[in-house]
Amino acid sequence: MLNVDVIEGGYEPNDARIENVHFSVGPGELVAMIGANGAGKSTTIKAIMGQLPFFEGEAEIKKGLRYSFIPERPVFYEDLTLWEHIEFVAAVEELEKSEWEPLVHSWLSRFRLERVIHDLPGSFSKGMQQKSMLILAIMSKPSLWIIDEPFMGLDPSATKLLLETLQDERERGAGILMCTHVLDTAQRIADRFIIMSSGTVHVSGSLDEVLEACNVSSGTLYDCIPEGDL
């Protein structure tokens, strides 16, 4: 679904922010990308999304694959209401109204956003914005999710809902790439881990492989973060 082979990439020429980043995400797999601030997680995501100005290598989402991207900071069209965002996604993704409308209404109700569908998302709280982004992602039933810091700003019940949704999506066969700082949650739900440090992959693999590579077989992911990054 997603193959990433970054040789190097950055925001200015001759100033590589990420180097030698290689990984893939398969169907039904949840891959957690973790690391300290500035480790290169968001830059890698930008490379995947084709938003990195200077880039060498390949970071390709399989052609024709439907995917959803949730950035770290919720972003909306500042002059479109929540419902207009939903209709826009439905239109450009060519979704069947009979399918997306009930799905969207059920999510709006679960997130208690029904009363604000004709409001501008810019006036929402951070949590409401995050929930709105999730609805926009869920409604197209993507085969691949790319999520940057999904738990930021969510209240406990919404976090629980998100975790359940991610589980449902995996069972449906969707691949998920998730960047996060919440290590204990990542450890609990992810199939594989990519620990980034100083713009490159420090260690990657399943939990056991990662812990073994870090010589902390009985420890946690926290023990795998390089000393200098803590």
Partner 1 sequence: MQYTLFTDRLKKDWRYQKGILSSVIDWTIVLYLIIPAIFFSGLYYRSLWIDPPVWFTLINWTGCGLLFFFLSLSSKWRTYLYEADTVYLAKRPEWIRKLLQSGFFYNLCTSFFFSLVVSLLFLPFTIGILTLSLLQIVLLLLMLTIIRTTCKLFLSWIDFYAAGSRNTLMTAGFLLAAAFGIALVLTGITMFPVLMILFIPLGFWWLKRLFNRTMADPKWLPNHGLQEAKWKVRWIRLVFTLSKEVETPPHTKSRKRPLLFRKSTRILKPITPVTGMLELFLKHHLRNRKFIYYYVRILGLIVLSAFLIPMGWLFAAAAALLAAGCVTIHKLMWETLIDKHSIGVKYRYDKSYEQAKNWTAVAMLTPIMVIAMVTLLT
Interface with partner 1 (CB under 8 A): 49-51, 53, 67, 69, 71, 75-81, 83-85, 87-92, 94, 97, 117-120, 122-123, 136
Residue 99: what are its φ and ψ, rounded to 5°? -95, -50
d(CA 100, CA 43): 32
Give min distance, CB of 58 to partner 1, in A.
17
Give min distance, CB of 68 to partner 1, in A.
9
Cβ(151)–Cβ(185) under 8 Å?
A: yes
d(CA 159, CA 193): 20
* Residue nearer to partner 1 on the CB measure, 46 or 170: 46
d(CA 216, CA 223): 7
* Residue nearer to partner 1 on the CB measure, 46 or 202: 46
Give min distance, CB of 62 to partner 1, in A.
14
* Residue nearer to partner 1 on the CB measure, 4 or 183: 4
d(CA 26, CA 19): 22
Rounded to 5°, angle at Cα 181 from 85 and 200: 100
Give min distance, CB of 28 to partner 1, in A.
22
d(CA 173, CA 169): 6
Q: Which helix (H) or strand (E) holds 208?
A: helix 207-213
Cβ(154)–Cβ(128) under 8 Å?
A: no
* Residue nearer to partner 1 on the CB measure, 71 or 205: 71
Give min distance, CB of 63 to partner 1, in A.
10
* Residue nearer to partner 1 on the CB measure, 90 or 194: 90
* Residue nearer to partner 1 on the CB measure, 75 or 160: 75
Cβ(98)–Cβ(176) under 8 Å?
A: no
Give min distance, CB of 73 to partner 1, in A.
8
